[in-house]
Amino acid sequence: MGEQVVIRPARAEDAECCGEIAVQAWRPIFHAWREILGDSVWKRVYGDWELQKRSSVVCQLRDHTHLAAVSEREGEIVGFLTWRLDHDRQIGQISNNAVDPGCQGHGVGTAQIEWALDYFRSEGMRAARVLTGGDPGHAPARAMYEKAGFARALPCVEYFLEL
Ligand SMILES: CC(C)(COP(=O)(O)OP(=O)(O)OC[C@H]1O[C@@H](n2cnc3c(N)ncnc32)[C@H](O)[C@@H]1OP(=O)(O)O)[C@@H](O)C(=O)NCCC(=O)NCCS
């Protein structure tokens, strides 16, 4: 990508931009799920995905700004990452994270995860966890986590049935 990407703690005013990146980044995943689940179940379960995804990311960035970071290139936000810390059990959990589709494939996603792992260590965390999909749409996410060092996984399956 050429220009340097800087990862920095988020600010509340970053929230709307990250909500938009989330919608753009997750669109191919939700569209692929429609093929897998069929129209009827997909519409019932994920028909409002865009609203849900945008509002969960915007709320997290705006209301829990200290649990989020953004990646900037030339002053423009190109990705974001959110997390939770369980101080009692010393576990850092990576939550929503995404990279603007126009900037994917250049290492930003992996750099964000590595940034979070360093931050978890600095906060005294002893383990990191993240939940992701086993579907083809999440192949880039799985590759990114493995590249960042996540080597142990518990696969799980979510079933759907139209009634
Ligand atoms: C997952 C995501 C954040 C990765 O961002 P990125 O900046 O493209 O990631 P990187 O460039 O660091 O790529 C990491 C690895 O993913 C793999 N990868 C990247 N794009 C890929 C693609 N389109 N298809 C398959 N693998 C891909 C590559 O193996 C890459 O490793 P490499 O550099 O050794 O080839 C981005 O694809 C995204 O926003 N996806 C939608 C949201 C999402 O799935 N978030 C995670 C939810 S759990």
DSSP string, 77-110: EEEEEEEEEETTTTEEEEEEEEE-GGGTTSSHHH
Residue 2 pLDDT exceeds 60:
no
CB within 6 Å of ligand 1 — which residues?
25-26, 97-99, 104-110, 132, 138-141, 143-144, 147
Read off the pLDDT of residues 5-45 as tens digits, 9 standing for 90 and up: 999 999 999 999 999 999 999 999 999 999 999 999 999 99
Whether residue 97 lies inside any domain: the answer is yes
Nearest atom, ligand 1, residue 111 CA: 12
Query: What total number of domains does the chain contain?
Result: 1
Q: Which residue out of 93, 110, 130 has the highest number of ligand 1 atoms within 8 Å of its CB and is therefore the one to mutate?
A: 110
Among 69, 68, 54, 71, residue whose Cα is nearest residue 16: 54
CATH number for the domain spanning 38: value is 3.40.630.30
Q: What is the pLDDT of residue 119?
A: 98
Nearest atom, ligand 1, residue 21 CA: 39
Whether residue 40 lies inside any domain: the answer is yes
Q: How far apart are CA 53 and CA 49, in angstroms?
A: 6
Whether residue 162 lies inside any domain: the answer is no
For residue 66, the enclosing domain spans: 5-147
Q: What is the pLDDT of residue 3?
A: 73
Read off the pLDDT of residues 93-148 as tens digits, 9 standing for 90 and up: 999 999 999 999 999 999 999 999 999 999 999 999 999 999 999 999 999 999 99
Q: What is the pLDDT of residue 10?
A: 98
Cβ atoms of 58 and 15 closer than 8 Å: yes
pTM of the model: 0.96
